[in-house]
């Protein structure tokens, strides 16, 4: 018998509510809990922008909590909206949207594979709320450090095989910054945040605070203009394609050894070569209809535009 799930804490990821519910109810089998709560979609990972189960969970708060809270505080939708087609954004805002929405090439975005936490936030949440939980903001791949404590967000233990990829194995962030598997202390890294990382973090938090608006047309238009490219792919000349190839090399350098290297994983299984995904191909990012990860567009934009210009492009009304 499923009782009512608890209301979410401010800025708690919507999936974290289910994890807390399982712990509060003293349930042992989280998978069984998920089968009862969201039988249509039991994956609690961060690989999708929008999941079927978001609506299934939120409907339990109908007439209690406004749906706008789900979009802004408990999912990353306000950030992702910038990089989604207008129709997709409008569909999710209008709701309910029971379709999965995902990025092509997300497997190459490192932080999309894991659930991350800040040890200081975990301690503070335990004191203030009596419970640990997963912060929505900490799960956005552009956020590398906790905005509040400037600690690098953690997801794994370097001394054993523990890695927080799915909540079904370990529902809540580790207590007392101790590995739940080998019980050794976990990394606690306070470091100077690089200029690019700090800017990405600020941009992300500002987008979360804004109304969700698609900027895909503006992004692609800006890239065409700065590279002097035609509007349509079939209008590309040989010279245009050479420019795009050169851009490809610069973009690859940025994500392999430049400012964006900590955000991407591109090596093959033997780590002997770099596999170039479509999501890092300028011709795909600019002309093709697939939805690609925000970090791919941000890395490409930064090859040509200043940080302030990119911020103005994405934050402008």
pLDDT digits (tens, 9 = 90+) for 54-70: 998 999 998 889 999 99
219 confidence band (pLDDT: 50, 70, 90) = very high
Query: How much is the pLDDT for 1?
Result: 43
Section 179-193 average pLDDT: 93
Reply yes or no on whether the pLDDT at 13 is more than 70: yes
Query: How much is the pLDDT for 2?
Result: 57
Query: How much is the pLDDT for 251?
Result: 97
Reply yes or no on whether the pLDDT at 142 is more than 70: yes
Q: Which of 34-43, 221-230, 282-291 has the lowest mean pLDDT?
A: 34-43
Section 270-290 average pLDDT: 83
266 confidence band (pLDDT: 50, 70, 90) = confident
121 confidence band (pLDDT: 50, 70, 90) = very high
Average pLDDT, the chain: 93
Query: How much is the pLDDT for 269?
Result: 46
The reported pTM is: 0.94
Reply yes or no on whether the pLDDT at 167 is more than 60: yes
Distance CA 23, CA 12 (A): 16
Query: How much is the pLDDT for 209?
Result: 96
């Amino acid at each position: 018998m499923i009782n009512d799930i608890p209301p979410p804490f401010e800025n708690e990821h919507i999936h974290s509510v289910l994890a807390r519910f399982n712990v509060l109810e003293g349930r042992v089998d989280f998978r069984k809990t998920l089968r009862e709560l969201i039988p249509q979609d039991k994956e609690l990972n961060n690989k999708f922008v929008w999941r079927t189960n978001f609506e299934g969970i939120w409907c339990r708060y109908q007439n209690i909590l406004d749906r706008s809270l789900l979009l802004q505080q408990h999912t990353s939708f306000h950030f992702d909206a910038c990089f989604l087609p207008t129709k997709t954004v409008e569909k999710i805002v209008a709701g309910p949207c029971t379709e999965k929405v995902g990025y092509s090439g997300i497997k190459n975005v490192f932080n999309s594979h894991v659930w991350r936490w800040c040890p200081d936030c975990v301690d503070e949440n335990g004191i203030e709320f009596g419970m640990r939980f997963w912060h929505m903001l900490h799960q956005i791949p552009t956020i590398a450090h906790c905005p509040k404590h400037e600690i690098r967000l953690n997801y794994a233990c370097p001394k054993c095989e523990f890695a927080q990829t799915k909540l079904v194995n370990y529902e809540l962030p580790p207590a007392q910054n101790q590995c739940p598997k080998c019980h050794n202390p976990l990394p606690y890294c306070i470091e100077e945040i690089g200029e690019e990382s700090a800017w990405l973090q600020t941009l992300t938090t500002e987008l979360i605070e804004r109304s969700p608006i698609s900027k895909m047309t503006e992004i692609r238009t800006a890239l065409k203009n700065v590279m002097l490219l035609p509007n349509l792919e079939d209008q590309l000349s040989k010279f245009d394609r050479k420019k795009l190839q050169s851009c490809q090399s610069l973009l690859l350098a940025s994500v392999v050894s430049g400012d964006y290297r900590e955000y991407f994983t591109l090596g093959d299984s033997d780590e002997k070569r770099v596999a170039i995904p479509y999501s890092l191909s300028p011709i795909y990012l600019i002309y093709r209809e697939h939805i690609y990860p925000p970090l791919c567009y941000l890395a490409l934009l930064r090859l040509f535009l200043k940080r302030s210009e990119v911020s103005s492009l994405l934050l402008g009304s």
